[in-house]
Structure 1
Amino acid sequence: MKSYLVKQKFRLGGERFDIKNDLGMVEYHVEGSFFKIPKTFTIYDVAGEQVSEISKEVLTFLPRFKIQLSNGDSFYIRKKLTFWKDKYEFDNLGLRIEGNVWDLNFKLLDNRDQVIAEITKELFHLTSTYTVTVYEDSYADLVISLCVAIDYVEMLESQSS
């Protein structure tokens, strides 16, 4: 089990931020593109090796991202149209979300209903700050990538309202 603290700093002109473990040590570096279409995020580990690349699909009605992991796996995360709360679906992944995505308080479950990770937004911070607890270390890169994509969509929607 590993825990991470994510403090995203989205601003006009590209995004760069670190993701730290529960001991305060940097585990991942995230770099967002600047004026690039499609919008992309690249995640690197501490050694500078690319972990994943997240690309926002351009011509879609609702947000959709392609996530390409360094091991060659790729999948899509897309937002569904609902009236009461935000919902996301994954294509080619075998995971599902349970909980409140809008408030970034949710769990990721596998097809056996085992909890893979929990994401909890921390209140009373100026920037988007949340804790990610991954119960199986092999899912860490995947879960961090999902969180970056979901939080980016939520940030865009909060700015537009």
Structure 2
Amino acid sequence: MRLLFRQRFFSWFDSYDIYDDNEETVYTVKGQLSIGHCLTIYDANNNRIGMVQEKFLTFLPKFEIYEYDLQNNCRYIGQISKEFTFFKPRYNIDFNGWQIEGSWTEWDYSILDSNGRNIAQISKELFHMTDTYVLDIARPSDALHVLMFVLAMDAEKCSRNN
């Protein structure tokens, strides 16, 4: 499954549209006014299905990941935190044994399971006015979770560069 992750050009808060290969919107992400990043994910029918919430007052950036069920109940499912490294960005994921490694340019990332199998490849597309990523996801059932971790990584990078 391939998704195109594109930040909206004019937006006061973090807002993203996520498209499939046919350029149809699969997910919409809306940022909220809060201390730290708070990103809510909606499906194509505008149902709230997930949230990425930055933890405040941590030594290194940390984000908690939540899912919503059909009754709109919120459930914590894991977290992602930036690890201290000098060259290649690395993140620690507390979710299903996943791990993330990135290139030193911070344009390409791999998400692997605990056995080293590929969950997703994330690549930043250059020469766009806003952040644009291509997410190649091995199993469509992992798409929402991969998206949440990419949102957290992008928010961490955005905070660091401001």
Q: Which runs of 5+ in 2 are unaligned?
A: 70-74
User: Which residue pairs with 1:148 in the alignment?
Assistant: 151
Pick aligned residue for 1:61 from 59, 62, 79: 59
Runs of 4+ in 1 over 4 A off after TM superposition: none
Answer whether contact 1:79 1:87 (CA < 8 A) is retained: yes
Give the TM-score taking structure 2 as reference length. Answer: 0.88
CA shift in 2, pair 1:124/1:134, >3 Å: same
Answer whether contact 1:76 1:90 (CA < 8 A) is retained: yes
**How many residues are paired up?**
157
Q: How does 1:5-154 map to 2 (within 5 A)?
A: 5-9=4-8, 13-34=12-33, 36-70=34-68, 72=75, 74-100=77-103, 102-154=105-157
Q: For structure 1, which segment, 65-74 or 136-145, has the greater mean C-alpha deviation from structure 2 after superposition? A: 65-74
Distance 1:138 1:10 in 2: 29
CA shift in 2, pair 1:137/1:73, >3 Å: farther
Distance 2:50 2:131 in 1: 21
Distance 2:36 2:76 in 1: 20
Task: Give the CA deviation at 1:99.
Answer: 3.3
Distance 2:46 2:95 in 1: 27
Map Cα deviations across residues 80-110 of structure 1 (whole Å, 9 max, x no partner): 1112232110124310113327523011111
Answer whether contact 1:38 1:58 (CA < 8 A) is retained: yes
CA shift in 2, pair 1:39/1:106, >3 Å: closer
Identity %: 32
Q: Which runs of 5+ in 1 are unaligned?
A: none
